[in-house]
């Protein structure tokens, strides 16, 4: 029998990990002063399917897929085995001057499944990096450098969307628009241009999501015109602005962005780091708009949630723009762990699970069950909006359910809901006052029911 509440001196095993952690570890995305009184710190011993299991034996339903990385459940045995086998074979080799089967095979597979557009040459090359932000840096630098190599030295600007998020490194942060992450570092950031978000939550009275998307696209068109010849790329999170509060937009928007990029000569960068790999219903979110980007950024679910890895898929035309006798015209960007064999092996195993388990079909049924369970919650007094894109579903909490009256930030409704849900065994980490469901694809009917019940209890308790 596993001991679940092992005593270490006067402390339980879980308490002991908490104390030791707080004496040495500095956590991400956290005001450390809030630990452990305002914000609980939960030592996790193991994972199993959709569950995270603490050292005290308590189980937590991972409704946010561990920051959107996990696809098929924790410790998925097929991916774990693939990593183990690869580790016994080759754990790492630099990808400059060397290659290995997992990197080649993964590139082949990714290019075969990437979004296509009948009137465009397909994505043709894969550049690896080792986390999402690094993947965004690669795409931004590639776009800029491509124009530089052609002597188009005026093309130095990026257009990003208001309320967008692309990561925390300085380049990625420069094209992000979430004040909480950006504001302090603003003096360090390259100046990007921001276009209005197509976010359907911002629709004016009488406007449909499609109208709202059209209005945002018109504004982007005007911005591109004002900066004609200056923009190297437009970067977009297709369908869902995730860190921006799971704000969703109509697929028409990306189709218009594609046209506008073509007309202005700028590249389209699709950041599918969060929405890729089946989250929105299709394998890639760009597919729902019938769009192929020039640069596609992938990470998070790429390895099924096991290991950090990013892949940036590029067109042949972009690749060709770097071929030359000079090293300076080459794309020299490098990370020590670029294309790590273990991570590539995990990604290959993850793509195999998609096929073997017919995940996209299964997800359609799960998404429909999520719709049905969320419906009664849309009637809740403090729920202003329930929105869904496939396996992502979000609840916007406001005072009285009125869009015009968000809760005052100081009331920390989201944090209260988080604590209430955690106490009931569900991880519902909010984005401000937005609670969302983004569970691993193995989530079953019973777990979804628990999720719905706990969401209601958490909203009730937080807004009481
Ligand atoms: N782009 C998007 C759309 C993201 O959601 C994230 C992470 N939340 C990133 C980029 C950055 O990825 P990472 O955290 O791996 O750096």
Enclosing domain of residue 386: 24-75+359-463
| pLDDT tens readout for residues 120-170 | 999 999 999 999 999 999 999 999 999 999 999 999 999 999 999 999 999
What is the Cα–Cα distance from 262 to 268, expressed in whole angstroms?
8
Does residue 319 have a pLDDT over 70? yes
Q: Is residue 16 part of a domain?
A: no
Domain check: are 188 and 299 in the same one? Answer: yes
Domain check: are 370 and 231 in the same one? Answer: no
Confidence band, pLDDT 50/70/90 cuts, at residue 3: very low
Mean pLDDT of 213-227: 98
Domain check: are 101 and 115 in the same one? Answer: yes
For the CA of 308, the nearest atom of ligand 1: 15
Q: Is residue 179 part of a domain?
A: yes
For the CA of 310, the nearest atom of ligand 1: 15
Residue bearing the CA closest to ligand 1, atom 7: 167
What CATH number is attached to the domain comprising 398? Answer: 3.90.1150.10
Residue bearing the CA closest to ligand 1, atom 1: 166
Q: How distant, in Å, are the alpha carbons of 58, 66, 212, 248, 454 from that of 424?
A: 10, 18, 38, 28, 7
Could you tell me the end-to-end alpha-carbon distance of the chain, in angstroms, rounded to an integer?
41
Domain check: are 272 and 141 in the same one? Answer: yes
Domain check: are 344 and 371 in the same one? Answer: no
Q: Does this model's pTM top 0.95?
A: yes
Ligand 1 binding pocket includes 130 (Cβ within 6 Å): no
Q: Is residue 19 part of a domain?
A: no
**β-strands 59-62, 231-236: how paired?**
unpaired
Contact criterion met (CB below 8 Å) for 254 and 278: no
Q: Is residue 435 part of a domain?
A: yes
Residue bearing the CA closest to ligand 1, atom 2: 166
Q: Is residue 2 part of a domain?
A: no
Closest among 385, 280, 322, 298 to 114, alpha carbons compared: 298
**Cα–ligand 1 centroid distance for 95 (angstroms):** 23
Q: Is residue 385 part of a domain?
A: yes
Backbone angles phi, psi at 183, to 5 degrees: -50, -50
Does residue 2 have a pLDDT over 50? no
Structure tokens at 290: 């019938």
Contact criterion met (CB below 8 Å) for 24 and 47: no
What's the confidence (pLDDT) of residue 276? 98
Domain check: are 38 and 129 in the same one? Answer: no
Domain check: are 279 and 239 in the same one? Answer: yes
Mean pLDDT of 344-350: 99
Give the end of a domain, one of 307, 338, 357: 357
What's the confidence (pLDDT) of residue 11? 80
What is the Cα–Cα distance from 294 to 316, expressed in whole angstroms?
9
What region does 151 belong to: left with phi over 0, alpha with psi -120 to 50, or beta?
left
**β-strands 383-389, 157-161: how paired?**
unpaired
Q: Which of 65, 132, 311 to mutate to test the pocket of ligand 1 (most atoms within 8 A of CB)?
A: 132
Handedness of CA 68, 74, 80, 81 (dihedral sign): negative
Mean pLDDT of 274-295: 98
**Cα–ligand 1 centroid distance for 167 (angstroms):** 5
Domain check: are 306 and 385 in the same one? Answer: no
What is the Cα–Cα distance from 264 to 117, expressed in whole angstroms?
19
**Cα–ligand 1 centroid distance for 268 (angstroms):** 18
Domain check: are 65 and 100 in the same one? Answer: no
Is-cis flag, bond preceding 36, omega within 30? yes
What CATH number is attached to the domain comprising 288? Answer: 3.40.640.10
Closest among 437, 365, 386, 442 to 63, alpha carbons compared: 437
What is the Cα–Cα distance from 148 to 141, expressed in whole angstroms?
10
Q: Report the share of the chain in percent with pLDDT over 70.
A: 98
Domain total of the chain = 2
Give the end of a domain, one of 311, 338, 357: 357
Which of the 8 DSSP states describes residue 74? B
Structure tokens at 169: 């490194």
Domain check: are 317 and 398 in the same one? Answer: no
Give the end of a domain, one of 357, 372, 387: 357
For the CA of 275, the nearest atom of ligand 1: 3
Q: How distant, in Å, are the alpha carbons of 100, 212, 292, 325 from that of 257?
A: 37, 14, 11, 35
Q: Is residue 18 part of a domain?
A: no
What is the Cα–Cα distance from 163 to 177, expressed in whole angstroms?
5
What's the confidence (pLDDT) of residue 9? 58
Domain check: are 419 and 329 in the same one? Answer: no
| pLDDT tens readout for residues 229-260 | 999 999 999 999 999 999 999 999 999 999 99
Mean pLDDT of 400-410: 96
Residue bearing the CA closest to ligand 1, atom 15: 132
Contact criterion met (CB below 8 Å) for 366 and 373: no
Domain check: are 282 and 413 in the same one? Answer: no
Q: Is residue 273 part of a domain?
A: yes
Among 5-19, 52-66, 70-84, 122-136, where is mean pLDDT lowest?
A: 5-19
């Amino acid at each position: 029998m596993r001991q679940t509440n092992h005593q270490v001196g006067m402390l339980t095993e879980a308490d002991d990990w908490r104390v030791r952690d707080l004496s040495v570890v500095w956590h991400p995305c956290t005001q450390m002063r809030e630990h452990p009184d305002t914000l609980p710190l939960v030592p996790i011993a193991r994972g199993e399917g959709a569950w995270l299991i603490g050292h005290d034996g308590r189980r937590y339903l991972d409704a946010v897929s561990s920051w959107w990385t996990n696809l098929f459940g924790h410790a998925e045995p097929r991916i774990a085995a693939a990593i183990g086998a690869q580790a016994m074979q080759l754990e790492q080799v630099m990808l400059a001057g060397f290659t290995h089967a997992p990197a080649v095979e993964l590139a082949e597979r990714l290019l075969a499944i990437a979004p296509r557009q009948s009137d465009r040459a397909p994505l043709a090359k894969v550049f690896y990096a080792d986390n999402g932000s690094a993947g965004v840096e690669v795409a931004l630098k590639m776009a800029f450098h491509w124009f530089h190599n052609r002597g188009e030295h005026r093309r130095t600007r990026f257009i990003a969307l208001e309320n967008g998020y692309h990561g925390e490194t300085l380049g990625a942060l420069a094209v992000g628009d979430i004040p909480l992450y950006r504001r302090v570092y603003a003096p360090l950031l390259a100046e990007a241009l921001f276009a209005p978000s197509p976010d359907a939550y911002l629709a004016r009275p009488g406007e449909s999501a499609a109208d709202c998307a059209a209005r945002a696209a018109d504004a982007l068109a005007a911005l591109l015109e004002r900066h004609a010849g200056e923009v190297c790329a437009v970067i977009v999170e297709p369908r869902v602005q995730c860190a921006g509060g799971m704000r969703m937009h109509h697929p028409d928007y990306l189709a218009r962005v594609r046209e506008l990029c073509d007309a202005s000569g700028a590249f389209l960068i699709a950041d599918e780091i969060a929405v890729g790999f089946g989250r929105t219903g299709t394998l890639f979110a760009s597919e729902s708009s019938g769009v192929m980007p020039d640069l596609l950024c992938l990470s998070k679910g790429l390895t099924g949630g096991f290991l950090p890895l990013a892949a940036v898929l590029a067109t042949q035309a972009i690749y060709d723009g770097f071929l030359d006798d000079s090293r300076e015209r080459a794309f020299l960007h490098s990370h020590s762990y670029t294309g790590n064999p273990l991570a590539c092996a995990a990604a290959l195993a993850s793509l195999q699970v998609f096929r073997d388990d017919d995940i996209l079909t299964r997800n359609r049924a799960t998404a429909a069950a999520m719709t049905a369970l969320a419906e009664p919650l849309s009637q809740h007094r403090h729920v202003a909006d329930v929105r869904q894109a496939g396996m992502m579903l979000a609840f916007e909490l406001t005072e009285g359910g009125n869009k015009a009256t968000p809760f005052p930030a100081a009331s920390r409704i989201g944090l209260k809901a988080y604590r209430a849900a955690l106490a009931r065994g569900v991880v519902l980490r909010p984005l401000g006052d937005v609670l969302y469901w983004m569970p691993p694809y193995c989530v079953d009917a019973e777990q979804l029911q628990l999720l719905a019940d706990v969401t209601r209890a958490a909203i009730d308790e937080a807004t009481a």
